[in-house]
Structure 1
């Protein structure tokens, strides 16, 4: 009766037989065979198959919804019986990048694992925009403004940006008094070549150029401290250097305030208890900061 149901749900969640096979650590042919046998027993086609992709039929979609509800009830029942509510266990895969993740998020996850030692954590530091579902990640830590997507994004904490330059650079290059004057400066680029500013309540972008580009904030910070140009960095990264006089903030009155670090995860009907617990732990930890 139950044969093929788990394989079917994995294909639904991961979007392909190949990705489902990777997640279950079995062959693609095994997944395909199990789903085919399930369809034969049900006397109904669950997936429309083409050479490029698969998609649920109406019957398959309705069947998946009912199975997910049943499986969640089974998971909850097993958790209660086995005591996972008291002692969660299993692997959590997390992706993120930057100094904030390493210095602010990682220590909190360390405390979480110390509290729940049967939980395993795999943290991947990667600057590219990882596809969480396709690559099998449970959570991501991202910075900036969240765009509309099929992911759930919850703010961990606001992170205000600031422009900074070294006194040596400003001795050779007069400090800008408006964002538009940045076009005359060597701007140290992180991700994009446009910086956002608040002009009397209206957000506008200014295109910038420069001879230094890096997707790591510490590399940008080093270039800025070395007098190479002006950088746009989070305040928490540059604060100590500003206080020590090694950097000077610029155009503070034009800075936007809508940047944040976010906890991002897929919209999953079935989320392991350990992942849900870590999400709430991180959100609570950062609210207390």
Structure 2
């Protein structure tokens, strides 16, 4: 088994970008990780990592070796999954990623409920608004919102979401209520990452360029600004629905609202969907359907 020594440590360092984080992942000391990687380099007579006091980077040879080792470890994990799945109890590692806010408010609590039912699972969940490479980064699935563009993934629709344009009663009292898309030119529209808002006009999608005094990539920040009467906002229902229900925000331009789009679970087409992942997807579908 000496040929395996250092492999897990190298893979962990490459994937975490740090000896310290690799040690934390593996549950060993940083010195142990460093020793094992150094011994592996000596055995291969090849430098796999560049080390400085500030960062760790992978050499070209190290990247090639890492990719091959990752495939071997994935195959080993798949073999172990096939055995544990035969026993009928979900266990082992499960990695997923989801957008930050929707992940915090909706997906993470569901994952916690799922884990409480199956405590032998080891879940790694990364909340990020970046679209990660599921194959390269070794994720079992990702939660994606809206329209999908990546046809190389298998997608399962879990639920729907609605986009609302809304503003506070105070803002509307001070600036008037828009009734047509053209009237948005005369209002302070709070912007996210895009310069336009999405609508449906006479049954056809239509993007309207808007402008305003605030731009931020956080939906929570934009909703807070709308609640404080700063301007009009367009956000998905999971941000604004409680405020709409309470009357703190007023829905606008409802007859131009775009059709609901999807909340999706996506996974690589070439990856075996293990029973535990399928069970989690069924749990998501049932829970989100009820909500």
**TM beyond 0.5:** yes
How far is 1:180 from its partner? 2.6
How far is 1:151 from its partner? 1.7
Aligned equivalents of 1:237 and 1:161: distance in 2? 10
How far is 1:280 from its partner? 2.6
State the TM-score, normalizing by the size of structure 2.
Answer: 0.70
Find the counterpart in structure 2 of residue 174 from structure 1.
176
Q: Which digits, 9 at most, give the CA deviation of each residue in 1:24-83, with x for residues without a partner?
A: 9997x979x99xxxxxxxxxxxxxxx99x99xxxxxxxxx9xx9xx989956762366x2
**Any residues of structure 2 matched to 1:157-172 within 5 Å, and which?**
157-172=159-174
Q: How many residues align?
A: 254
Distance 1:73 1:207, change over 3 A: closer
Q: Which digits, 9 at most, give the CA deviation of each residue in 1:74-129, with x for residues without a partner?
A: 56762366x2x22x212222222243322222222112111110102222221222
Distance 1:98 1:259, change over 3 A: farther
Aligned equivalents of 1:260 and 1:77: distance in 2? 31
Aligned-pair Cα RMSD in Å: 4.0
Distance 1:160 1:133, change over 3 A: same
Instruction: List gaps (5 residues or longer) in structure 2.
Output: 8-13, 16-21, 27-32, 45-59, 65-70
Query: Contact between 2:81 and 2:92, CA under 8 Å: does it hold in 1?
Result: no
Query: Contact between 2:81 and 2:274, CA under 8 Å: does it hold in 1?
Result: no
Distance 1:79 1:93, change over 3 A: closer
Aligned equivalents of 2:99 and 2:77: distance in 1? 32
Instruction: List gaps (5 residues or longer) in structure 1.
Output: 8-17, 35-49, 55-63
Query: Contact between 1:127 and 1:215, CA under 8 Å: does it hold in 2?
Result: no
Find the counterpart in structure 2 of residue 197 from structure 1.
199
Find the counterpart in structure 2 of residue 15 from structure 1.
none
**Any residues of structure 2 matched to 1:19-30 within 5 Å, and which?**
none
Question: Does structure 1 residue 233 correspond to structure 2 residue 235?
Answer: yes
SS in 2 for 1:213: coil
Question: Does structure 1 residue 90 correspond to structure 2 residue 103?
Answer: no
Distance 1:172 1:74, change over 3 A: closer
